[in-house]
Each structure stands twice: as structure tokens, then as C-alpha cells.
A and B are shown apart, each in its own frame.
Chain A
């Protein structure tokens, strides 16, 4: 039997956390981070030793749960995708001032190339902004190792440690060797009497804590120095590489018989980066190529140290590397002007094939209730005389409503924006204003708008696509189900303005009739399209399906 396992980068992070004695894992689903939590949940189920995994209502809540667990002296992980960190950002920035007690890993998965995201923002400058250390692994093995080291660093510095993944690492499967022993969760105890006020960020204490944080910087640099490395080979040309930049550069050199002695290398795996390391590298080269995922972060630092132009920095800023999108082996090859590969297809043949090949975009599943909901919404708007209708959308499967034949979604910004934008439009006189949101997104960031909307008299129509599952990310359970109506009533929305519709083809004309009446009535309304996700039904993920199975046994 092999001592190693094949794991996704995401799974390696979960396993590292388990072996490091993590007590609680929290998160909110988001591609490409979701599998971190899911793997942790599986491990925890199997171990049955009192560890906890829990999906939170949103990333901010998840982050705060982790901070609370850390407060008790236990190790904890919170997972999210890059844009999830925006949601958690208030807690994130301030946790640098409170500091942590038990080790805390903030696992953030970036999505350069936007495989399934609305932007390709970089987590590194956000960690920098918060004055927090960040580790950037390159392979599933490093994800495992860095997670374990991350806990040690976190407890040493008494700060949360960010572990940054990208899609191509989170969803890459590779060999991972485990350490021999798995630590059980142990507690460092709650903060001592001397330390307990550290967590109270009133101005007088926060000022002191900010100085304390600044004073940790030199220790952070010392830790980073153990990860980052400059390798000189006597040439005047260098590469600065991090994350997948290291993966692709190493691979290219290894498999194309290129001498390692061609380039000086600066290999960055931990942040903050000591400025003397960067300065020295600039001083020792005449030209430097920077290969890093997401933003030109290291590149900008290097540019700041090469103002005399004695060393020219090439990267995303001068378009030596494409300004946007993820790195690849091809980018390494082209940028460093290596010989092209010898493809099977001639250019003529490739053009011929490109003419034939049509794209196959993702789409809503056949028989999905969202299709029926969109159909009745758009028909009702047309029937009341609005041909060029606009519907504010949100994030989830139903975002695919932007595609033909639905053409039913006209915005997608971030979690919860649908309802707030619809309300803002309604307040400006847009009528009827319609926002479409899924149930999990509603609980994540839509409820607060519902509460605000109820206080207005404008024609805002809040549509919840309620399938009682987090569909897009792989059918995770939402934080709660079936409480939208009660919430609206509690918020003060009259019962007659709450409508529960079933999005099925046979209900189409009845739904259209109801929607026309709702849209014509001035004032806030809540419309709940309630039907199960067909994928989740097939997988028997709903509580009522599980009960049935138990009853049958």
C-alpha cells in the first residue's frame, strides 16, 4: 500500500487541518473553495471525535464563527472563495487587531480566468491591506504542508493566516504524503485575564492593538524568509514566480530540456515579502519576468525598486504577460521566447475545425423549475405592456437565466444585489421593479433588503427562487429552509402581498395571471417560486427524502 493519497488541492487543505488538530471548520459554498469544507465534513464524520463542521449563512458569519472558536483556544478553518472574502472583510481586517488565540486558517480560493466567478480579484493585496500573513502553495502537497505550518504560524504570531489557492490548484489532484501522526483537537484555553481586553476594539484599545500589529511585522518577515528563496546562477536575467507561476515555470524547464542555469529565480511562497529580497533581485538583474496569478502584485513592488530602469520588469503591466486571465505553460513559453510546440493541427486545419465547432455553454437542467419561473415572469411583464423588461438578478443557477431562450436576467453583481438594486430602482421610479434571488442567496444577503423594502411604498417585487438547496455549487444544504414567508410577515409585509407559486409548466397561465396582478399593484411584494431542485431530488438530498428512507428500513 502507498503511504500517499491522490487529493485535490482543496482536499489536501482539509486533510492538513485534520492532521493539525482542527476543532471546527466553517464556510460558505463557492467555487473553487467548496470542496475544502466538503472534504473536512467527510473526515469529521468518519473520525467522530467531537470535531465540528458547519456551513454558515454567509462568509462574514463563517469568519466570525471561526474567530469565536479561536477565542476558546481551539484550532479552526474558515473557507470561502475570493469574493467571499469581500463579504467577510470587516471581520477579516479587524481580526488582525484582536488577533487570535487558537490557530486560525483563512482558506481563500481565487479564480483567475473567472471559471465560475464575477471577477478575478487577488487575495494577496487584501491580506496585505489587513496586515495579515499569507501562504501561497503551488501543489496539493504544499497545500497540506502549508496548512499545518499555517496553524503553527498563526499561534506564534497570534494572527489569522491566509492560505491562498487558485482554481488550478484547488481543483488539481495530486499526490500528498501525510505526516505520521494526527493531532487531536486541544485547547490553549480562553484568553488570559491580562489578554482579555485585547479583543475589545474600542478606540483606546484598538490604537494599542494596531501598534502591536505593526510590531509583528518584523516577525512576519522572518517567517516569510523561511519560505521565499532567491537562486542566482550568474546571469543577468531573472524570473520572479509564485503560486501557479512556480508550477508552470518549473514544469516547463523540467520537461523541455532547458537549463536551470538560464535564469536567476526569486520564488515567493509567503507574504509579506522582505523588501531587501526584492531590491537585491532587481539590483542583480537587467531584466526580470514576473509570473504570478491574478494581479501584478509582486510586479508592482518590483517596479517600485527599479525606478532607475537599470532593471526592466516584464509582466502584466507591460503586457509581456496577458493583463488578465490565468497563467499557463503557453504563457511561460511565449513570454520567455522558447521554441513553439509542434501541434497536430496545421493552421489551416485548425481554422477549418473552428468553423465547425460551436460553443456549448452551461445551461439550466431540463425540467428545472427556474425555467418555468422565468417564463412566467417575462410573460407577465410582456402582458402588462413592458416589452423591453428588465429583471435584476443574483448569483446562483438562475444566473443562467441570462442565456437564451430565457433572456430573463439583466444584472448579476454580487450576493444579494438583486433585491437591493430592484429596491433602489423602484425608489427612483422604475415600476414594476423585479429582483430575482435564490433562497440560499436570500439568507446570505437578501433578508436585510426585505426588511428595508417593507418600510417603503414602492413597487418592488422580490422574487425568491426557493428550491431549498444551494444548487450551483453542488447541492449543499442551505442554512435554513421554509422560513421566507414567516420572515416577511415578521418584518411587517401584509400576508396578501406574499405569494407562493409553483413553477411547473401546468401552472404557467395561472402564475402569469397572478404575477400580472402583483406587478400592477403598487407596493412591496414577495413572490416565492417554490419547487425542489431536480438534481437534489435525484440525489435524495432533501430532509423529507431521508426520513422516508429511515422509515422504510
Chain B
């Protein structure tokens, strides 16, 4: 983190999609890397299919705010394309977006999917990934999210071995098979970036 004093990551998604898990993996990895960290999570009412986001702040200097100011995040990971669009305004100039293209349509007025994707593509530094297809290919429902994290991981000042350590820690209580599955999903995404 030479020039980068302060890193702000936004993880956005739909309630029940696993945004908090992805956020906690990133938080854990940043912490294991020796950064000072704080994360703001959304619990409660918005779990029920509403919009959710987590802010992760990590820095080599002292961190006291768990939230990120609009226009100052360094990276946005969107687990759902409409939620990516919704949270774009948090990004600072030049900051990248890694977004899923797989829509979750649980409302009547969901915008035109092509319009969402083309709007995302019109921005500089965007990586769009079909996370549903990846989940299907990899054969587990969270595979796409973890792959998305893998694809985004290059954009954060955290080494591959720390990421793997964070994933192992997180899933080890669920058995070796689950750990291996998640590690391979992470590496699958990493290879795509």
C-alpha cells in the first residue's frame, strides 16, 4: 500500500444473495494482510429481498469510519447488475467495477437488462461476469460470487496466498470439500481478470 493510503471497497447485492459473506472475506483478507480495518454491514429489514451493501475500509493508517463517502471508493463489487448501477456513485474517479451480469428480478419495474449492462459497459474500467453461468459450471450456488471476488482480487492490495488463507479460514468448519470448491471458484475468477 505504497501510495494508496486508504482503500474503500463496496460490495453490493440483493438481500439473501451472500453479499455479507463476500464482504467478510475481503475484510478478513485485508486484516490478515496487516491493515487496519472496519466494515459496515446491513442487517435486518433489508434481508428480505431488498438492496444490501457493505462498506469495507482498510488502511495502513488509523481507521475509524466504517462507511465510505460517496465519490471516494476504490472498488465496487456488484453481485447483481442493477445493484452495481445503484452503488456506482460511491466510486472515485478512475475506480474499477467488477459486476455480475446475472439479474435478480424480484420487482415489477426491473429496468431493461440490456440497458443496465450497456450503461455499465459505458464506464471506464468495468469487468462484467456472468456469475450464474459460473455457478452452474462449478456446480454450487455461491460459486459465481466467489469467482467475482477472485476476479476483483487483483484490484486490491492483498496477495493471493492471503486470499486463499481467508477463504480456508471461513469455510473450514464446513469441511475440506467446501474449502476446495471455494478456492477453485476464486482461482477461476482470478484467471478471468
Q: CB-nearest residue of chain B relative to A356?
A: B111
Given A251-B63, A333-B69, verify A173-B48 contact (CB < 8 Å): no
A116 at the B interface (CB under 8 A): yes
Known: A255-B5, A255-B59, A345-B91. A358 touches B111 (CB 8 A): yes
Given A172-B38, A343-B93, CB of A138 within 8 Å of CB of B66: no
Would you call A171 and B93 a contact (CB within 8 A)? no
Contact with B92, one of A251, A342, A473 (Cβ below 8 angstroms): A342
| Binary interface encoding of chain B residues 45-78 relative to chain A, with 1 for a CB under 8 A from any of its CBs, else 0 | 1111111000000010111111111111000000
0/1 string, A104-142, CB within 8 A of B gives 1? 000000000001100000000000000000000011000
Query: Is B181 in contact with chain A by the CB < 8 A criterion?
Result: no
For chain B, the count of residues having a C-beta within 8 Å of the partner chain is 58
Do residues B28 and A6 form an inter-chain contact, with CB atoms below 8 A? yes
Q: Which residues of B contact A341 (CB under 8 A)?
A: 69-72, 92
Q: Are A473 and B44 in contact (CB under 8 A)?
A: yes
For the complex, what is the distance from the CA of A365 to the CA of B39, rounded to whole Å? Answer: 27
Picked from B24, B65, B71, B85, the residue with its CB within 8 Å of the CB of A344 is B71
Query: Which residues of chain B from 88 to 142 have any CB-CB distance to chain A below 8 Å in the complex?
Result: 88-89, 91-95, 106-107, 109-111, 115-116, 119, 123-124
Bound-state CA distance A353–B72 (Å) is 18
Within 8 A of B (CB), among A350-373: 350, 352-353, 356-365
| Interface pair A363/B48, CB less than 8 Å apart | yes
Which residues does chain B contribute within 8 Å of A345, judged by CB atoms? 71, 88-89, 91
Query: Nearest residue in A to B68 (C-beta to C-beta)?
Result: A329
Quick check: is B165 within 8 A (CB to CB) of the other chain? no
B49 to chain A, nearest CB (A): 5
The complex places the Cα of A248 from the Cα of B37 at a distance, in Å, of 14
A362 touches B69 (CB 8 A): no
A357: contacting residue among B42, B70, B111, CB under 8 A: B111
Q: Write the nearest CB–CB distance from A366 to chain B, whole angstroms.
A: 8
CB nearest neighbor in A for B35 = A175
**Interface contact A362-B14, CB-CB below 8 Å:** no
- The answer, yes or no, to whether B185 is at the interface (CB within 8 Å) is no
A330 at the interface (CB under 8 A from B): yes
Instruction: Please tell me if B36 contacts chain A, counting CB pairs below 8 Å.
Output: yes
Binary contact readout A523-548 vs B (1 if CB under 8 angstroms, 0 otherwise) = 00000000000000000000000000
Q: Check if A171 sits within 8 Å of B5, measured CB to CB.
A: no
From the candidates B42, B82, B89, name the one contacting A115 in the complex (CB within 8 A): B42
A246 with B27: CB separation less than 8 A:
no
B residues in contact with A172, CB < 8 Å: 38-41, 66
- Which one of A115, A139, A169, A356 has the greatest number of beta carbons of chain B within 10 Å? A356
Please give, as numbers and ranges, the residues of chain A lying within 8 Å of B106 by CB-CB distance.
Answer: 360, 363
Q: Is the CB of B85 within 8 A of A175?
A: no
Chain A: interface residue count, which band? 35 or more
- Set of chain A residues within 8 Å of B91, measured between Cβ atoms: 343-345
| A35 partner residues in chain B, CB cutoff 8 A | 43
Cross-chain contact of B95 among A31, A328, A344 (Cβ < 8 A): A344
Q: Chain A residues with Cβ under 8 A from B86's Cβ? A: 357
User: Within 8 Å CB of B109, what residues of A?
Assistant: 358
B39 and chain A: residue at smallest CB distance: A173
CB-contact partner of A330 in B38, B63, B70, under 8 A: B70
A340 at the interface (CB under 8 A from B): yes
* Most chain B CB neighbours (cut-off 10 Å) among A329, A333, A364: A329
If A173-B41, A472-B45 touch, whether A353 touches B88 (CB-CB below 8 Å) is yes
Contact at A6–B31, with CB atoms within 8 Å? yes
Task: Answer whether residue A400 sits at the interface, using C-beta atoms and an 8 A cutoff.
Answer: yes
Q: Please tell me if the beta carbons of B85 and A362 are within 8 angstroms of each other in the complex.
A: no
State whether A360 touches B50 (Cβ < 8 A).
yes
- Is B187 positioned at the interface, with any CB of A under 8 Å from its CB? no
Cross-chain contact A255 with B82 (CB below 8 angstroms) = no
Q: Which residue of A lies closest to B111 (CB)?
A: A356
Complex Cα gap A360–B92 (Å): 24
B21 interface contact, C-beta 8 A: no
Q: How far is the CA of A329 from the CA of B55 in the complex (A)?
A: 13
Besides A329-B69, A340-B71, A356-B111, 9 other CB < 8 A contacts?
Answer: A115-B45, A172-B38, A251-B65, A255-B61, A333-B69, A357-B82, A358-B107, A363-B49, A400-B48
Nearest first, the 10 A-B pairs at minimum CB distance are: A343-B71, A31-B44, A251-B65, A362-B50, A172-B66, A341-B71, A329-B69, A116-B45, A344-B91, A116-B44
A-B contact pairs, 19 of them (CB 8 A): A168-B66, A247-B65, A250-B62, A251-B65, A255-B59, A343-B89, A344-B92, A345-B88, A356-B111, A356-B119, A359-B51, A360-B82, A360-B83, A362-B15, A362-B46, A362-B50, A363-B50, A365-B49, A472-B44
